[in-house]
Structure 1
């Protein structure tokens, strides 16, 4: 059999602008943007981020993934010159790469402070939970460049806050402060800047307390049924419920409930 090679082998040898930290004891992985001061996300970095999410999705040590950044800004967006230099085929993959947190079967939390613009906002929107510091500012400023969001930003935002508010954000390149993002509902919590890490830690530990099988199931169900009629969504929910009813985790959950003890999840 011939030796097989995959570009991922070389792509992951040296991460471009970010690090990965795995804390097996806390069943947590952190993807940390590290290109100060604005943590600009390059073209190669987008593909590496996708591959890292895929790798962590298969890592048995990890239950929850956190996407965060060093410094006072999450990310001011992408490498603008890189768009002009990239081939049309490469550009066509942008949305697929940035959607990696949504495809990941495990819960993904984005911890945002400071600038969260362009692709930084788009990859945060692809996460399951967004926690904002009061310093956070969200924006899709592509109109200022004669462009539009290209990695799912306007589509995801519209599904969360509606067409009128999305037009207001995208067509005017408006910046939305963290508190307003919370009021509009696309951020689950807005906290003082010095409480962002503590709030993230608390959510990680809360999510670890649930059955990983049930978490995977409900994440996929919600993603798959987002654009479905209510009748179809209810039908899909029923099928997922039926499958979980025969799982070891459901039996453990019921037994732990009656025994008034903490459940010991197996993820199956």
Structure 2
């Protein structure tokens, strides 16, 4: 049964424009942006989202985290007025806050439909998987405000699609569809809007079937070696492989394979 997540941190006593629920039976946490109609993300919400990801990362009930938006849109972006009111110190933390899904050791899925603009796009790019509906439109429109993306959007995008397509999206503030995003490798998959929740739930179940230890190791390894030399990446992969060979989960996986049964991973 879904339960509204409770947090000991007093800064999370009143969530600013989003909700958090935990389904312990499904080992799933849902963070839902919920500020109708466009789920604008305030400056304060950015701080809170970071703290929520950190808290869920430590929650033993949670294996997978899903980030979505209520209604027809994921998020049209940030509160424009908030940028002018925020202090330089606060603004300097924007990218760190929005990178929270990437730092989280657990798999994070972004379910994107409708407008996924600005910081909405940036926080989705920090997630491990982006499932886009056919209504989804991605954009980094900051050029229209005389600005550039400030929460890692252009940097992450360039890693995924290269400089030519990133310039098209950033320098022209061009919107791209969910299907184009999938074709370019930005989105993991593009699905019919009515199927978005079903596909996301199926992915959650798939990820739950793997070893939590192997999942954490794979995510950290891939993130850490994203810009590493090939020789360095191979070396780190080998070291992590060797470490996992000593784990109880690997032993269980091998035994289950030979016994033709489903493994019961414990995350150790």
Q: Same fold (TM over 0.5)?
A: yes
Structure 1 Cα separation of the partners of residues 209 and 161 of structure 2: 29
Q: Secondary structure at the match of 2:52?
A: helix
SS in structure 1 at match of 2:20 = strand
| Residue matched to 1:109 | 109
Partners of 1:64 and 1:188 lie apart in 2 by: 16
Match of 1:25 in 2: 25
Structure 2 counterpart SS, 1:162? helix
- CA distance in structure 1 between the partners assigned to 2:259 and 2:10 by the alignment: 51
1:88-141: CA deviations, max 9, x gaps?
000000000000000000000000000000000000000000000000000000
Q: In structure 2, what is the equivalent of residue 84 of structure 1?
A: 84
Deviations 1:25-55 (A, max 9, x none): 0000000010010000000000000000000
Matched position secondary structure for 2:174:
coil
Q: Secondary structure at the match of 1:220?
A: helix
Offset, 1:256: 0.4
Distance 2:188 2:46 in 1: 25
2:132 match: 132
TM value normalised by structure 1 = 0.97
**1:11 positional shift:** 1.3
Q: CA deviation at 1:214?
A: 0.1
- For structure 1, the residue ranges without an aligned partner over 5 or more in a row are 1-7
Question: 1:196 aligned to 2:196?
Answer: yes
1 CA distance for matches of 2:37 and 2:181?
Answer: 23
How many corresponding residue pairs? 261
Query: Structure 2 matches for 1:143-182, cutoff 5 A?
Result: 143-182=143-182
Distance 1:11 1:93 in 2: 16
Residue deviations 1:133-176, cap 9 Å, x none?
A: 00000000000000000000000000000000000100000000
Question: Do structure 1's residue 216 and structure 2's residue 220 form an aligned pair?
Answer: no
Alpha-carbon distance between aligned partners in 2 of 1:248 and 1:193, rounded to the nearest angstrom: 40
CA deviation profile, 1:156-198 (whole Å, cap 9, x unmatched) = 0000000000001000000000000000011111011100000
Separation in structure 2 between the aligned mates of residue 30 and residue 193 of structure 1, nearest angstrom: 18
Q: What does residue 98 of structure 1 align with?
A: 98
Query: How many Å separate the matches in 2 of 1:115 and 1:9?
Result: 31
Q: Secondary structure at the match of 2:9?
A: helix
The runs of 5 or more residues in structure 2 that have no matched partner are 1-7
Deviation at 1:13, TM superposition (A): 0.4
Could you list the runs of 4 or more consecutive aligned residues of structure 1 that deviate by over 3 angstroms after TM superposition?
none
TM-fit CA distance, 1:9? 2.7
The DSSP-based 3-state class of the residue aligned with 2:254 is helix
CA distance in 1, matches of 2:45, 2:10: 13
User: Could you state the TM-score of these two structures normalised by the residue count of structure 2?
Assistant: 0.97
- Aligned residue number for residue 119 of structure 1: 119
